[in-house]
Chain A
């Protein structure tokens, strides 16, 4: 099993550009989530999904969009990138319902100029 995979590993964007961060898991987990990690701030939840077709907002959802069309994939879209979105983004999956061990991807480092 590959576990949780994320692409790309690094990305540089200009302000106003849009992009999609990809996340996939092969463990058949119902629950997937996106976090951002900023220095001194720990991990903050952006969006999460408890199954295909079901998504919900976390602590810091503004400026991000998600969808869950399959169990395996949970892409995160930046609609119009801003310098404040410069961060490291982690995708995680678990089962059941987010209460047990979370498996993290390797992260995507995003720089918005």
Chain B
């Protein structure tokens, strides 16, 4: 069963606009990660935020984590057509031999 659920399922914006995607999860976590998948390709790791962190930046990416609400957001600023992809959050549950659990993803379309 999916631990993380992304919202919205699909997002369409113009180049230069910001894109925000959200992820909600159910159980306590060690960390939360965001991945990107271009059509027909494997997933590529974007950023990891640990449970004791509230915000993290990487280039045009900004990730926030609110453990009290069990939610995270990914902001892509000044989006480009090349950002068109599906974005997935993955959680590392804070129990036992952990494995990452992926959400169903947000499909982002950035139009020129």
A80 to B44, CA, bound (A): 31
A45 to B102, CA, bound (A): 9
Q: How many residues of A contact B (CB 8 A)?
A: 27
Among the listed B2, B92, B97, which residue makes an inter-chain contact with A42, where contact means beta carbons less than 8 Å apart?
B2
Tell me the residues in window 46-91 of chain A with beta carbons closer than 8 Å to chain B beta carbons.
48, 50, 56, 58-59, 90
Task: Say if the beta carbon of B1 comes within 8 Å of chain A.
Answer: yes
Chain B interface size band reads 20 to 34
**What residues on B are CB-neighbors of A90 within 8 Å?**
42-43
Tell me the residues in window 44-59 of chain B with beta carbons closer than 8 Å to chain A beta carbons.
44-45, 48
A59 to B3, CA, bound (A): 12
Known interface pairs A101-B48, A102-B45; A45-B99 also in contact (CB < 8 Å) = yes
Asked if residues A101 and B1 are in contact (CB atoms below 8 Å), the reply is no
Which 4 A-B pairs have CB atoms at the shortest separation, nearest pair first? A104-B42, A42-B104, A43-B102, A101-B45
Residues on A lying within 8 angstroms of B by beta carbon are: 4, 33, 35, 40-45, 48, 50, 56, 58-59, 90, 92, 97-107
Other than the given A102-B33, A102-B45, A106-B41, 4 more pairs (CB < 8 A) read A43-B43, A45-B100, A101-B33, A102-B90
